[in-house]
Amino acid sequence: MGVRFTRHGKTAYLVVATDDGRFIAARLSMYPSLLAAKPSQRGHWKIIGLGDGITWPDLDLDLSTSGIIEGRPDTSRSPTGSSVASSVARWMFSTGAAPKGKGSRRAPLKKDLPERR
Residue 86, domain member (yes or no): yes
What's the rounded Cα separation, in Å, for the pair 51 and 2?
10
pLDDT digits (tens, 9 = 90+) for 1-43: 899 999 999 999 999 998 889 999 999 999 999 999 999 999 9
3-state percent helix, strand, coil for the chain, nearest multiple of 5? 30, 25, 45
CATH number reported for the structural domain that contains residue 33 in this entry: 3.30.2020.40
In this prediction, residue 86 carries a pLDDT of 52
Of how many residues is the chain composed? 117
| Dmax (CA) of the chain | 70
pLDDT digits (tens, 9 = 90+) for 34-61: 999 999 999 999 999 988 999 999 999 9
Q: Which domain holds residue 20?
A: 2-95
**Structural domains in the chain (count):** 1
